[in-house]
Structure 1
Amino acid sequence: MTETLIETQTPTCRLTDPAEALAALERAIPNLADCRRSAPAVHDWARVEEDLGTPLPSDYKHLAEWYPTFAIGDYILVNLPEPGEEHLVHRDFKSALDVLLDAWLEPALGLPAYPTPGGLLPWSESDEGDKFMWSTTGDNPQEWVVTVAGRGGAWWHYAGGAVQFLAELCDKSLEAWGLRIFEPEVTPC
């Protein structure tokens, strides 16, 4: 089976501080701050992570604490857990995994899906069917890389976190291999 993975894009500096990554995203999408909560939401992350069977990256959790689900440029849906709905998160991740397994990973590339060690765990998608996932390699989710599965067949890694990936995709410091060009603005929250 031939893998169509292109290669890895590496940020100049990986942002490991969740607040710094979020600030970069807010700079890259000027109207994003209009959707920011006045205070961080309180999530039951212990429940979410227990249900999933893995801790999640801190930048993703920080984003979900400050923002509800939003869409960027009518293209990328950033579906975030809502407080009080933590019991639904596992179902949402499982549903996204089922789509990946049926249509993308196993038959097309033979790539493993989570919970296989190192498997792919989806965290976002585009309205055109592009998938944005974490490669769950290693014991530290802060070191997971983003894997992009472009609907047109382009597969590649980004050696940074999800929030930094979105920031650099929106400020165009990242090459959008196989992805549609879009305006970095948030549609109604």
Structure 2
Amino acid sequence: MSSLERLGELLGEPVTWGWARPRLWAASEQHLGVELPADYKAFLDLYGPGSIDDHLSLDRPMDGDAGELERLWSLGAWRRARLSDPDLYPYPFHPDPGGLIPWGSDEHGSEYYFLAIEPDPDEWRIVVGSECGQWFETAGTFCDFLVRCFDRADRPPFLDRHWPAPDARYHSHA
């Protein structure tokens, strides 16, 4: 069983279907200059923008216009912060080579990223940064990471220990 199928079992069928939007992913990838991981796009095509138990928020393009793409993918403020304190920000931010690309945030201020080092986006690592300046890096795909969060295995030590609940559901923002 794939990690996406396992997430489907854990989260249940989407209340509101996300519907595949290849044109919007293509616009995002053109804006970023890199392809995004296939399972990330597949998950959001299935579930749409929303959150897992109102804790971990996930977004994706809905219109594909320049303003939306800049809002979703711009890390200019993070890049400037890293220049002022590289010890606090040990990773570069996209579009710097091997830079982090955002994919989510949680209610405690942690930010979730892809570490875009490998040429194949399906081999990118997951990085999570807490609001307190702690960093966590792990191998595996987007869906693998979410399954491990449910299994309480190889997940950030600063992650809310009660999340996700065994009966977690995906709440659509659409």
Q: Which bracket does the TM-score occupy, shorter chain normalised? A: 0.7 to 0.9
The answer to whether the 8 Å contact 2:51/2:58 transfers is: yes
Structure 1 residues 178 and 102 mapped into 2: Cα distance closer, same or farther (>3 Å)? Answer: farther
Q: How far did 1:35 drift?
A: 2.7
Supply the AA of the counterpart residue of 2:22.
H
The answer to whether the 8 Å contact 1:125/1:132 transfers is: yes
Structure 1 residues 183 and 112 mapped into 2: Cα distance closer, same or farther (>3 Å)? Answer: closer
Instruction: Work out which of the residue numbers 159, 163, 167 in structure 1 matches 2:139.
Output: 159
- The separation in 1 between residues aligned to 2:91 and 2:20, in whole angstroms, is 35
1:80-99 correspondence runs (5 A): 80-82=60-62, 85-87=63-65, 88-94=68-74, 97-99=75-77
Of structures 1 and 2, the one with the larger relative CO (CA 8 A, separation 6+) is 1
Aligned to 2:169: 186
- The separation in 2 between residues aligned to 1:65 and 1:187, in whole angstroms, is 13
**1:120-158 Cα distance to aligned partner (Å, 9 max, x none):** 111101111101101110211111000111223321111
Instruction: Work out which of the residue numbers 152, 168, 172 in structure 2 matches 1:172.
Output: 152
The answer to whether the 8 Å contact 2:55/2:107 transfers is: yes
Q: How far did 1:92 drift?
A: 1.3
Supply the AA of the counterpart residue of 1:41.
A
Structure 1 residues 89 and 167 mapped into 2: Cα distance closer, same or farther (>3 Å)? Answer: farther
Instruction: Work out which of the residue numbers 18, 24, 29 in structure 1 matches 2:6.
Output: 24
Aligned to 1:143: 123
TM-score between the two structures when normalised by the length of structure 2: 0.81
**1:79-128 Cα distance to aligned partner (Å, 9 max, x none):** 1233xx1222343111xx2343355x442235311111111111101111
Q: Secondary structure at the match of 2:140?
A: coil
Between 1:146-155 and 1:135-144, the stretch displaced more is 146-155
CA RMSD of aligned residues (A): 2.2
Q: Secondary structure at the match of 2:72?
A: helix
Structure 1 residues 130 and 102 mapped into 2: Cα distance closer, same or farther (>3 Å)? Answer: farther
Between 1:48-57 and 1:164-173, the stretch displaced more is 164-173
Q: Secondary structure at the match of 1:128?
A: coil
Supply the AA of the counterpart residue of 2:141.
G
Q: How far did 1:57 drift?
A: 0.7
The answer to whether the 8 Å contact 2:29/2:35 transfers is: yes
- The separation in 2 between residues aligned to 1:133 and 1:188, in whole angstroms, is 21
Q: How many residues end up aligned between the 2 structures?
A: 163
Q: How far did 1:78 drift?
A: 1.3
Structure 1 residues 148 and 159 mapped into 2: Cα distance closer, same or farther (>3 Å)? Answer: same
Instruction: Work out which of the residue numbers 34, 38, 54 in structure 2 matches 1:58.
Output: 38
Q: How far did 1:46 drift?
A: 2.3
The answer to whether the 8 Å contact 1:22/1:63 transfers is: yes
Q: Secondary structure at the match of 1:174?
A: coil
